[in-house]
Structures are given as C-alpha cells and as structure tokens.
C-alpha cells in the first residue's frame, strides 16, 4: 500500500473521511480516535451513534483482520441497524471491495 493509504489507516477519523467519504462531527471523531478496547456511548437519539460505531468496526476489521468484533445491543433490531450500516458502507465502497 502507498504511504498515503498507510497514513490514512492509522487514524479512524481519516479512514472515515478519505475512504468512506464521511465527515464526523467533533464528538464522533473523539469516539473514533478512542483506542479503548470497549466503548459505550450514551447519547440522545439521532446523533450518529450507530454510524460512528459502524465506521469504528469497519476500520478495526480493516486494520486488524484477526480482531473479533461484537455488535451488542438491547434488542436484535438495534444490532441489525448497526450491521446494516456496516454492510452498506462496505457494499458501496470500491476501496474496501478491492482490499478485502
């Protein structure tokens, strides 16, 4: 991979912007850049929690292929929403299709 791609892959925020064409808000970027093993987000509705967690999962899977990623939610429907976002980001992204 090129040096530019390597640099992009070091930052989940840059990955979101350059690869997924998604510009995160300030708090979304903070979540993306958090390198904790576990993340819990408590926030109001419709602020992009599912989207940012989907991006974080894609980035993690991309840069750490052997990493196990769990999508856990109080209901199946909620976990399906995150999974669908992951699928949509991946299915419509040529870079990810080429490099997986």
Give dist(CA 32, CA 11) in Å, integer: 8
Asked if the model's pLDDT at residue 65 lies above 90, the reply is: no
Give the residue with greater pLDDT, 95 vs 20.
20
Give the residue with greater pLDDT, 95 vs 51.
51
Q: What pTM, to 2 d.p., does this model score? A: 0.87
Q: What is the mean pLDDT of residues 73-94?
A: 93
Which residues 6+ apart lie within 8 Å of 92 measured at CB?
none
pLDDT (0 to 100) of residue 1: 59
């Amino acid at each position: 991979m090129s040096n530019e791609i390597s640099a992009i892959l070091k930052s989940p925020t840059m990955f979101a912007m350059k690869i997924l064409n998604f510009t995160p808000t300030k708090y979304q970027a903070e979540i993306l850049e958090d390198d904790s093993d576990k993340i819990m987000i408590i926030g109001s509705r419709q602020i992009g929690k599912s989207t940012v967690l989907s991006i974080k999962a894609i980035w993690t899977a991309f840069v750490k292929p052997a990493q196990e990623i769990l999508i856990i939610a109080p209901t199946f429907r909620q976990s399906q929403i995150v999974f669908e976002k992951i699928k949509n980001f991946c299915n419509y992204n040529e870079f990810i299709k080429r490099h997986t």
